[in-house]
Amino acid sequence: MQKWWEQVIKLAFWKKKATGFSKNSNVRDIKSQKCSRCGKFKLIAFYADEYGGVKGLCKECRKEIEKMRELFPI
Protein backbone atom coordinates (compact mmCIF):
# COMPACT_ATOMS: atom_id res chain seq x y z
CA MET A 1 0.00 0.00 0.00
CA GLN A 2 1.29 3.43 -0.92
CA LYS A 3 1.65 6.20 1.55
CA TRP A 4 -0.76 9.09 1.15
CA TRP A 5 1.89 11.61 0.04
CA GLU A 6 3.09 9.28 -2.74
CA GLN A 7 -0.45 9.20 -4.10
CA VAL A 8 -0.68 13.00 -3.92
CA ILE A 9 2.62 13.39 -5.80
CA LYS A 10 1.53 10.96 -8.52
CA LEU A 11 -1.84 12.71 -8.87
CA ALA A 12 -0.18 16.14 -9.08
CA PHE A 13 2.27 14.87 -11.73
CA TRP A 14 -0.56 13.30 -13.78
CA LYS A 15 -2.64 16.49 -13.57
CA LYS A 16 0.34 18.61 -14.65
CA LYS A 17 0.99 16.29 -17.59
CA ALA A 18 -2.69 16.05 -18.64
CA THR A 19 -3.35 19.80 -18.64
CA GLY A 20 -0.32 20.71 -20.75
CA PHE A 21 1.60 22.78 -18.24
CA SER A 22 5.25 23.19 -19.08
CA LYS A 23 8.14 22.66 -16.68
CA ASN A 24 9.07 26.35 -16.80
CA SER A 25 5.58 27.68 -16.18
CA ASN A 26 2.61 26.67 -14.11
CA VAL A 27 0.20 28.53 -16.39
CA ARG A 28 -0.52 27.89 -20.06
CA ASP A 29 -0.28 30.93 -22.32
CA ILE A 30 -3.62 32.68 -21.79
CA LYS A 31 -3.72 34.20 -25.27
CA SER A 32 -3.59 30.87 -27.07
CA GLN A 33 -6.81 28.90 -27.29
CA LYS A 34 -7.87 25.86 -29.26
CA CYS A 35 -9.12 26.56 -32.79
CA SER A 36 -12.59 25.12 -33.48
CA ARG A 37 -11.58 23.83 -36.90
CA CYS A 38 -7.96 22.61 -36.77
CA GLY A 39 -7.72 22.00 -33.01
CA LYS A 40 -4.31 23.67 -32.61
CA PHE A 41 -3.56 26.10 -29.80
CA LYS A 42 -3.18 29.51 -31.46
CA LEU A 43 -4.43 33.05 -31.16
CA ILE A 44 -8.06 32.90 -32.18
CA ALA A 45 -10.92 35.28 -32.89
CA PHE A 46 -14.60 34.43 -32.56
CA TYR A 47 -16.91 34.57 -35.56
CA ALA A 48 -20.59 33.83 -36.20
CA ASP A 49 -21.69 32.28 -39.49
CA GLU A 50 -24.94 32.94 -41.36
CA TYR A 51 -26.67 30.16 -39.39
CA GLY A 52 -25.80 31.70 -36.01
CA GLY A 53 -23.11 29.20 -35.05
CA VAL A 54 -20.16 30.67 -33.14
CA LYS A 55 -16.64 29.42 -33.85
CA GLY A 56 -13.21 30.36 -32.53
CA LEU A 57 -10.90 30.35 -35.55
CA CYS A 58 -7.20 31.00 -36.15
CA LYS A 59 -6.13 33.16 -39.09
CA GLU A 60 -5.43 30.26 -41.45
CA CYS A 61 -8.77 28.55 -40.85
CA ARG A 62 -10.66 31.85 -41.09
CA LYS A 63 -9.20 32.51 -44.54
CA GLU A 64 -10.22 29.05 -45.75
CA ILE A 65 -13.76 29.23 -44.35
CA GLU A 66 -14.38 32.79 -45.62
CA LYS A 67 -14.05 31.48 -49.18
CA MET A 68 -17.11 29.25 -48.64
CA ARG A 69 -19.17 31.12 -46.02
CA GLU A 70 -19.72 34.61 -44.76
CA LEU A 71 -18.33 35.19 -41.26
CA PHE A 72 -19.29 37.98 -38.88
CA PRO A 73 -16.82 39.02 -36.15
CA ILE A 74 -18.15 39.00 -32.59
Question: Where in the chain are the domains?
Answer: 30-74
Give Cβ neighbours of residue 26 (< 8 Å, ≥ 6 apart).
none
What pLDDT, on the 0 to 100 scale, is given for residue 9?
A: 66
Distance between CA 54 and CA 1 in Å, rounded?
A: 49
Distance between CA 16 and CA 54 in Å, rounded?
A: 30
Give Cβ neighbours of residue 28 (< 8 Å, ≥ 6 apart).
19, 20, 21, 22, 41
pTM score, whole prediction: 0.55
Residues of the chain short of pLDDT 70, as ranges, are 1-5, 7-30
What pLDDT, on the 0 to 100 scale, is given for residue 4?
A: 67
What pLDDT, on the 0 to 100 scale, is given for residue 35?
A: 92
